[in-house]
Structure 1
Amino acid sequence: MKQRKCSLQLLLVKGRAEWIDKSHKKCLILWLRIQDWANYILDFVKENGLEVTTIEDIRSGIETHGTELAGIDRGVLMRALRLLEQKGKAVIFKGSSADDEGVKFSV
């Protein structure tokens, strides 16, 4: 058990895991750090010319098939997009439903 804690602690320190509850009983293990996801999204947007798109199209649109973004966890995606928004690289806007939420990129 002690070795697991050390391994988990290392993942937390490297930004590859995050606690999702205050009691530190549930942890989200990340394939990429949130910053890495944000960079991946920006590169994807530039390569595909997607200046404005919906959140759902990023997760399941034709352009995402065969990429790391296909089926990305919505929470991870939103955190990466919020990071891009904080850096002035994107603006998230609300639609009439969750499926209508969109994002405009400044690339």
Structure 2
Amino acid sequence: MENNETKKMKRLGNFELPDFFNYAPYFTLQPTRATGEMQVRLWKELILQYCKSQRIYIVSLEQDFPLFSNPAIERSLSREAKEVFLSALVTEGHAEWMDRNHNTCLILWLRIQDWASYILSFVKENGLGSTMPIEDIRSGFDTRGTELAGIDSIVLMRALRLLEQQGKAAIFKVNDCEGVKFCV
């Protein structure tokens, strides 16, 4: 006979799952306003935490995403529920739909303006040259072990364009290499 503990998912790889992940009703949109709001809040936090810990920037509603099902309790989110939770992140600036049909979502555990501030602080704190190849921000020696290591190119370019609009950076191209000049 199985006890309830064996029917619980506690981890997804190295990520610790919250208790609600093993509660079947949280995989169905809740009709009661207060419960529904709590459910949306919990799912938003879970999606952001998981994506940040696993360095996931793109979530597709058309492909399997580990958080959207719990085989231990035989539950999966409906497409509508996935869209509700991701749309709530979009409303807060923590995600953006990448297509009109809401099939793919760009996850922003840091908002674009926060990424821009992080990049600028990183450049200042590390005394990096005022001009550098953009690819070095994603994969350079100086960014290893930081939030910038492996940053999605879409997120990076959006943050750099914001800095450019603020007069804190200038994006340029030499041959096939894109670079950025920081005004720090």
Q: Please say whether Structure 1 and Structure 2 have the same fold, judged by a TM-score greater than 0.5.
A: yes
Deviation (angstroms), 1:48 = 1.3
Aligned equivalent of 2:96: 18
Residue segments in structure 2 that go unaligned for 5+ positions in a row: 1-77
Identity %: 66
Deviation at 1:13, TM superposition (A): 1.0
CA distance in 2, matches of 1:76, 1:58: 12
Partner of 1:60: 139
In the alignment, what sits opposite 2:154? Answer: 75
Task: Report how many residues are paired.
Answer: 105
The 3 A distance-change label for structure 1 pair 75 and 32 is same
List structure 1 runs of 4+ shifted beyond 6 angstroms: none
Report 1:1-107 matches (<5 A). Answer: 1=78, 2-50=80-128, 51-97=130-176, 100-107=177-184
Greater displacement, 51-60 / 3-12: 3-12
* Larger mean Cα displacement after TM superposition, 7-16 or 73-82: 7-16
Shift of 1:88: 0.5
What is the TM-score with the length of structure 2 in the denominator?
0.54
CA–CA separation in structure 2 for the residues paired with 1:4 and 1:58: 32
Assess if the C-alpha contact under 8 Å between 2:143 and 2:149 holds in 1: yes
TM-score by length of 1: 0.90
Separation (CA, whole Å) in 2 of partners of 1:72 and 1:95 = 22
What runs of 5+ residues in structure 1 fail to find an aligned partner?
none
- Higher RCO (Cα < 8 Å, 6 or more apart): 1
Tell me, in whole angstroms, the C-alpha distance in 1 between the residues paired with 2:165 and 2:91. 22
Q: Distance in 1 between matches of 2:83 and 2:153?
A: 27
* In structure 1, C-alpha distance between the alignment counterparts of 2:81 and 2:101, rounded to whole Å: 20
Deviations 1:40-87 (A, max 9, x none): 000001011221111011111111011000111111100100000001
In our comparison, the structure showing a higher alpha carbon Rg is: 2
